[in-house]
Chain A
Amino acid sequence: MSTSITAPAGRPAPSRGSSTSQTEAPRPITGKSISVGRRVRNTTATVLVGLAVLVAAVPLAFVLVYVVSKGGGVFNLAFLTESIPISSRRAGPGMGPAVAGTLLITGAATLMAVPLGILAAVYLNEYGQANRLAAAIRFLSDVMAGVPSIVMGLFIYTVWVLRFGMSGFAGALALACLMLPIVIRSTEGVLRLVPRDLREASTALGARTSRTILTVVIPAALPGITSGCLLAVARAAGETAPLLFTIGTVRALNPNLFEGTNTALSAQIFVNAQLPFVAAQNRAWGAALTLILLVLLLTIIARIISARFTVR
């Protein structure tokens, strides 16, 4: 039994009590109480582990309390719908153009990244199982997930904005690049969970691979795919850096994605956070509250879907 601990570790296991003179034979349980030193060390470790949770939770609580209390002060229907004041000094609503911009830009990014990502995942899991190109794509989509968001912004700037100018669509392209690897990897993970029996049964009934995938595999995996995609959308909705050089800014609503500059909640928070005016800072808090509510809504829907319809 003792070898099963030490063998995979490839070194003597330090777990066998404080007596370092121990050799191969496992020490039988004597029923004697554990020595003080070991007990202290164990308790200290347990306390530290608990403390780690607090260390992460306390700043989060502070952030949320500030966002809710400061943002709650300005948050109302007018804030969500009215234009951004011409003068940043002036108090009052609104963030309407930013709310619309976030929804439009994130929506357009979703429309591009989700179908592409799902099909790519289908290739990886259904066709490319063991082939080397698929392995390379799998690896590189993990790497792509780590590409900094500001680099995606610069990338779209060099290939799109320099030719066609700033627009909401350019921002959507940058966000889609960010979402794509997340959609691919989460979808592939869900596809892998679909039981092989289902595919075999469908094939046995005479369906071709594409028909099997479209009518059996994807429907079976749909809840998981949906929740993964929603998490990707939530992530994209909060991104700022890819929008900095791609959408520009605007104070009045611009419903046209393809023409004219646009704005988004995250971009407005970034700009207003740097202004020395209390009114602007309050609008930033309000925008932060709006953005967090939006992201939370998406996250909660994703959780509910994945909890209710998990495969198996």
Chain B
Amino acid sequence: MTTTTPPPTGLQPARSARGDTAFRAASFLCGFTVLAILGLIAVSMTQKALPALQAEGLGFLTSARWAPNEGRFGALAFIYGTMVISAIALVFAVPVSIGIALFLTEVAPRRLRKVVSYVIDLLAAVPSVVYGLWGVLVLSAVIVDAYDAVGRVLAPVPLVGRLFEGPANGRSLFTAGLILALMITPIITAITREIFDTVPQGQKEAAVALGATRWEMIRGAVFPHSRSGMVGAVMLGLGRAMGETIAAALVIGSSPRISAQLFGPGDALPSVIAFQFGEASGTYRSALIALGVILFAMTIIVNMAARVIVNRGQEARAA
């Protein structure tokens, strides 16, 4: 490294300067496509959804009656179903993901760590439709017995019992939730793991030096440091669960109803769109696009909130 390099000014032909500006402009345009696409999604889909939204008014959001042959379109049952299966997915995926992330960062010996992170990568690499195929042909046939058994035990319990009563069906809200849980586990794991990795080594060592057991070190040093990041990770998982289509569609049972029975069939926004779009036309098709707009809005809100939380956590840690 010499320190006597002359400044490059004036040595370049003007042509190169123009090339430089063009390249800069091209890269800016490419960056701008992200904004353009997102804007275009919102505009073009809302436009196509308008006929149905105008016909139904606010009822589109508040009515649970979905009867295309009568021209009635209410999305509430699907919004409800989307929320229920996402909630079930989170109930299972969050503890498991945090457990795996802790295993990878705090517990596992190095060699095992590598194996487990390969397994998690594999879990993420399997396409959603393959989980759906397995869910509909294998899992839903086997799991009915388990539902029956759980139903017999829990149905008489007051309050909670309502969730588990009624005839158990292999294709149900609960099965869809389980499949989704499997699919969002790698996402939540990856982000929580990154966050656990940023806990300063000094704090963990300090906890251990004070005589803390490993669990006490995790509770006292790792969790408090990572709380906001973990919330963000869970919300990103939620966003993914809400929009995940194919796997859930195959096992959810496709029944547009609002019911507390988790072991019964239901329906969710993405699966309705996936199954009914092909046979729809006119207002019906417009109504399905409107469901897509609702889904888009829900996931955008959840994802934005999640990103804000995750980014703020990162800034706080960097500062």
Majority DSSP secondary structure for residues of A touching B = helix
Majority DSSP secondary structure for residues of B touching A = helix
A288 at the B interface (CB under 8 A): yes
- Looking at the assembled complex, report how far the CB atom of B17 sits from the nearest CB atom of chain A, in whole angstroms: 7
B244 at the A interface (CB under 8 A): yes
The stretch that binds B, out of A81-89, A208-216, A219-227, A250-258, is: A208-216
**A122-B27, A150-B274 in contact; A239/B100 too (CB < 8 A)?**
no
Would B214 and A46 count as touching, CB distance under 8 A?
yes
How far apart sit A306 and B311, CA to CA, in the bound complex (Å)? 26
B159 at the A interface (CB under 8 A): no
Which of B38, B40, B218, B289 has the largest count of A CB atoms less than 10 A from its CB?
Answer: B38
A195 at the B interface (CB under 8 A): no
**A154-B292, A238-B128 in contact; A67/B134 too (CB < 8 A)?**
yes
Checking A154, A181, A203, A237 against B45 with a beta-carbon cut-off of 8 angstroms, the contacting residue is: A154
Chain B interface residue number, banded = 35 or more
How far apart sit A56 and B123, CA to CA, in the bound complex (Å)? 8
Would B245 and A266 count as touching, CB distance under 8 A?
no
Would A56 and B119 count as touching, CB distance under 8 A?
yes
Would A148 and B34 count as touching, CB distance under 8 A?
no
B54 at the A interface (CB under 8 A): no
**A41-B215, A127-B28 in contact; A53/B116 too (CB < 8 A)?**
yes
**A154-B289, A240-B245 in contact; A141/B107 too (CB < 8 A)?**
no
Would A120 and B303 count as touching, CB distance under 8 A?
no
How far apart sit A144 and B243, CA to CA, in the bound complex (Å)? 12
B102 at the A interface (CB under 8 A): yes
Q: Which of A180-211 contact B (CB under 8 A)?
A: 180-181, 184, 201, 203-211
Would B99 and A49 count as touching, CB distance under 8 A?
yes
Would A150 and B245 count as touching, CB distance under 8 A?
yes
Checking A42, A48, A60 against B123 with a beta-carbon cut-off of 8 angstroms, the contacting residue is: A60
Taking CB atoms, residues of chain A closer than 8 Å to B242 are 148
Taking CB atoms, residues of chain B closer than 8 Å to A16 are 210, 212, 216, 220
Taking CB atoms, residues of chain A closer than 8 Å to B45 are 151, 154-155, 158
How far apart sit A75 and B33, CA to CA, in the bound complex (Å)? 41
B91 at the A interface (CB under 8 A): no
Taking CB atoms, residues of chain B closer than 8 Å to A120 are 27, 30-31, 33-34
- Looking at the assembled complex, report how far the CB atom of A123 sits from the nearest CB atom of chain B, in whole angstroms: 4
Would B274 and A209 count as touching, CB distance under 8 A?
no
Would A150 and B130 count as touching, CB distance under 8 A?
no
B8 at the A interface (CB under 8 A): yes
Taking CB atoms, residues of chain B closer than 8 Å to A4 are 202-203, 206
Would B96 and A137 count as touching, CB distance under 8 A?
no
Would B130 and A63 count as touching, CB distance under 8 A?
yes
B24 at the A interface (CB under 8 A): yes
A-B residue pairs, 10 tightest by C-beta: A15-B220, A148-B243, A52-B99, A238-B127, A9-B224, A146-B303, A206-B8, A210-B23, A119-B30, A123-B27
Given contacts A27-B210, A56-B123, A149-B243, 9 further A-B contacts (CB under 8 A): A59-B182, A120-B33, A184-B34, A204-B8, A209-B20, A239-B128, A270-B250, A292-B130, A295-B125
19 CB contacts below 8 A, A to B, read: A1-B209, A5-B210, A41-B215, A46-B107, A52-B102, A53-B100, A119-B30, A123-B30, A144-B34, A146-B299, A146-B300, A148-B243, A150-B292, A154-B277, A155-B41, A159-B40, A206-B11, A209-B23, A266-B129
